[in-house]
Amino acid sequence: MFSVFRDLIRYNMEFAVGVVLVGAIVLFSLLSFISPVDPTAIYTTIPDMPPSAEYWFGTNSRGQDLFWHLTFAFRNTLFFGLSVALLSRVISIAVGLAAGYLGGWTDRVLMFVNDIFVALPTFPILVLFYFVLRSDLDMFKLALIMACFGWPYDARLIRSVALGLKHREFTRHAVFAGMSPVKIMFEEHLPYVMPIVFATAMANMIWSIGLEVTLAVLGFTNINIPTVGTALYWANNHSAMVVGVWWWIVIPVVLIVLTFLGLFLLAVSMNEYIDPRSRLRRMGA
């Protein structure tokens, strides 16, 4: 596994750039653990200071040091994106493999549910949750709700792979070797869908973070939790651009764009690397 990583870094430009970008953002967010300031406290420093040697990212109109504030914001946002990706991957793997391998009624029922989730309008429902839960809506609950919407497309993709695997001879061989359906799905078939799982996880993070930012900017999330979205919400609330505190908006936007770019490059390069055809060729098949 390590040698694969090393080869990818060395020979795949996209992967290397993606690792550097995402790695830098992750490091940045980890700095929050040594932060000298409380991210929820306001007016701890002089407001509206431009970036300088003392305040690297400047300070905002609420008297917060943006550098340290954004470390928390990125930590929460990345954790959120990762949770959504993880949870929705679990659902999409379970549904996709079961629908594809078991077929018949299981498939029909699961795909019916799947299509309902595809058809549901995500955004209004998230807003509805906000109105119902209000301040009870923490990052984890939001992640859970978003995960419920983030799986159906990928479940279909996984199902199509599982359908193909079902008719391969080795699956029939496994049945006659006495393997149970669960064992066949999660031991024989899962390795084949892992490439899809990885590649779609990146895309899913981009989607969920983007949606969180949108919701937060519009004020439909708990605005007291520092995230990239709420940082922009407060900036907008204080008319940061109008009063000339541009760094309050530009810095988080640049950082989130770099994050997206990094995730996208990782998704693309992994997709290429994990393509089963090239993988089988490397294995000498």
User: Using CB under 8 A as the criterion, which residues of the chain lie in contact with another protein when the complex forms?
Assistant: 7-8, 10-12, 168-170, 172-174, 176-179, 183, 187-188, 191-192, 273, 278, 280-285
Cα 126 to the center of its chain, rounded Å: 17
Closest CB to another protein among 121 and 284? 284
Q: How far is the CB of 181 from another protein (least distance, A)?
A: 13
Q: For another protein, which is the closer residue by CB, 209 or 266?
A: 266
User: φ and ψ at 59, to 5 degrees?
Assistant: -125, 160
Nearer to another protein, 46 or 280 (CB): 280
- CA atoms lying within 13 Å on the CB side of residue 163: 11
Closest C-alpha among 245, 244, 255 to residue 213 = 255
Q: How far is the CB of 4 from another protein (least distance, A)?
A: 9
Query: Nearest distance from residue 17's CB to another protein, in Å?
Result: 16
CA distance 65 to 67: 6
How near is the Cβ of 10 to another protein at its closest, in Å?
A: 6
Q: How far apart are CA 87 and CA 181, in angstroms?
A: 23
Of the two residues 93 and 213, which places its CB atom closer to another protein in the complex? 93
Shortest distance in whole angstroms from residue 192 CB to another protein: 7
* Cβ proximity to another protein, 141 vs 168, nearer residue: 168
108 or 168, CB closer to another protein? 168
Query: Whose Cβ is closer to another protein: residue 166's or residue 238's?
Result: 166
